Amino acid sequence: MLDIIVRQARLPDGRGPLDIAIKEDRIVEIAPRIVAEAHQEIDATDRLVSPPFVDPHFHMDATLSLGLPRMNASGTLLEGIALWGELKPLLTPEAVIERALRYCDLAVSQGLLSIRSHVDVSTAPLVGVEALLEVRKQVSPYIDLQLVAFPQDGLFRAEKAEKNLLSALDMGVDIVGGIPHFERTMAEGARSVVRLAEIAADRSLKLDLHCDESDDPMSRHVETLAHETTRLGLGGQVTASHVTAMHSYDNYYASKLIPLIAESGMNVVPNPLINITLQGRSDTYPRRRGLTRVPELRAAGVNVAFGQDCTMDPWYSLGSADMLEVAHMGVHAVPMTSREAMDWAFTSVTQNGAVAMGLPDPTIREGGPANMVILQAQNPIEAVRMKATRLAVIKHGKVLVRTAPRLAALDLPNRPATLDPANYAPASPEPKT
Ligand code: FE2
């Protein structure tokens, strides 16, 4: 007796319709028609069944704190950091846990089941660390939550930040973080990259730096990070997050840099929602976009995964744990509008995020984990376009979420009242880009 059969699903690679059989926490068979009994059947006819969404860059210690103790009036990164500094002394573990758990509810409802969250370790006591370690434990049946020890105020700029970072790692935080562009000088920033890479290597931990989240074309810490990654042989254990300054680099320098990033094997995580709003704030017009060079990084073979970064916090007042919204913004902000690139945008918030986080292969396959999202869309592009309803979310073979589909409700003669409003195929298989 099977636990679940998902009937007539379409997969992100275009295969389908296929039945998917689930027994306990594994996918045991995928076939055009499975004749067997199951405790539960889910009709996925004309529905996309995908691996769950992955957010490789988030700040769960700050989430849902919007308005505490005041709003970010300028909308800049630097005021956000200052505002967070005002809020930090007021934080309690209980309040951080409560907000984080509320966010996790939202995340699960959106099929977002793997999250890498930075947690500020600049100042003691480590309230955020204590809180998110507890959250990680509580949500572990539902969400793979990785924590990054993040010295928000600078490893060397904030007194005792390195000591606090090491304490956080000792307490069980998974990953080494940093923010070289916020150190006092370029030289200090580069020195922080070297130090953090060595801490990661010594402890056999992953490294994920906020790197060059700036419009300054001379902010070039990703170069040092690529070099240290290669020197220490850290490869895919390393992630450069944001890397927005790359949009302002001289083209010649970028053409030298990108192969070094590819050679290092590191991941790059742009955050389109936040950076399209944070970057270019000091520009008049023309105003620069806030995204790194995604097509060029992809072409060089770098694993690029979009992250969300923030939801209702000192830096970003919107956000909804919706990685399709993130992919949608990425398509616009990069921009990348070919069918191939939009299809890739979906992959960037599923498989590529899993690669960046070092998670097991999440592909829907026989023998694979019974973790999936059933979307009200026929294919990945339609999912991105519609920010498709999550009809069902399954984790470890258990249905966590069921949502009714959005259906047309016009009551007109001779016309069904159950049309799927998402369902329009393009007139041409390859529209102009
Ligand atoms: Fe961030």
Catalytic residue among 37, 130, 213, 228: 213
Q: Which residue has the tokens 């944070």?
A: 278
Fold: same for 2-51+363-408 and 53-357: no
Omega of the bond prior to 69 within 30 degrees of 0, cis?
yes
CATH class of 2-51+363-408: mainly beta
CA distance 261 to 382: 32
Contact 107, 116 (CB under 8 A): no
pLDDT of residue 432: 46
For ligand 1, the distance from its centroid to the CA atom of residue 241, given in whole angstroms, is: 7
For ligand 1, the distance from its centroid to the CA atom of residue 58, given in whole angstroms, is: 6
User: Which among 85, 98, 64, 56 is positioned nearest to 308, based on CA atoms?
Assistant: 56
pLDDT of residue 139: 98
* Extended strands (E) in 206-328: 206-211, 238-242, 267-269, 303-304
Q: Which residue has the tokens 């008049």?
A: 284
pLDDT of residue 410: 75
- Dihedral angle sign, alpha carbons of residues 16, 22, 28, 34: negative
Report the b/e string of 19-57 with b at 16+ CB within 10 A.
bbbbbeebbbbbeeebeeebeeebebebbbbbbbbbbbb
Contact 28, 19 (CB under 8 A): no
Q: Model's pTM, two decimal places? A: 0.96
Residues of the chain under the 70 pLDDT cut: 409, 416-419, 421-433
pLDDT of residue 412: 81
130 labelled catalytic: no
Both tokens assigned to 325: 């919204």
For ligand 1, the distance from its centroid to the CA atom of residue 301, given in whole angstroms, is: 24
Strand order from edge to edge, sheet including 2-9: 26-31, 18-23, 2-9, 38-43
Task: Calculate the average pLDDT of the chain.
Answer: 95
- Tell me the C-alpha to C-alpha distance, in Å, between residue 72 and each of 79, 86, 313: 6, 11, 9
For ligand 1, the distance from its centroid to the CA atom of residue 209, given in whole angstroms, is: 9
Domain boundaries, the chain: 2-51+363-408, 53-357
Contact 179, 222 (CB under 8 A): no
Both tokens assigned to 375: 């979307």
- Tell me the C-alpha to C-alpha distance, in Å, between residue 321 and each of 35, 59, 103, 244: 37, 12, 8, 22
CA distance 400 to 406: 19
The angle formed by the CA atoms of residues 66, 68 and 69, to the nearest 5 degrees, is 145
For ligand 1, the distance from its centroid to the CA atom of residue 254, given in whole angstroms, is: 23
pLDDT of residue 433: 46
For ligand 1, the distance from its centroid to the CA atom of residue 379, given in whole angstroms, is: 30
Report the b/e string of 249-275 with b at 16+ CB within 10 A.
beeeebeebbebbbbbbbbbbbbbbbb
- What CATH number belongs to 53-357? 3.20.20.140
For ligand 1, the distance from its centroid to the CA atom of residue 375, given in whole angstroms, is: 28
For ligand 1, the distance from its centroid to the CA atom of residue 339, given in whole angstroms, is: 29
CA distance 22 to 95: 38
Half-sphere exposure in the Cβ direction for 256 (13 Å, CA): 7
Q: What is the CA radius of gyration of the chain?
A: 22
User: Which among 137, 141, 138, 211 is positioned nearest to 174, based on CA atoms?
Assistant: 137
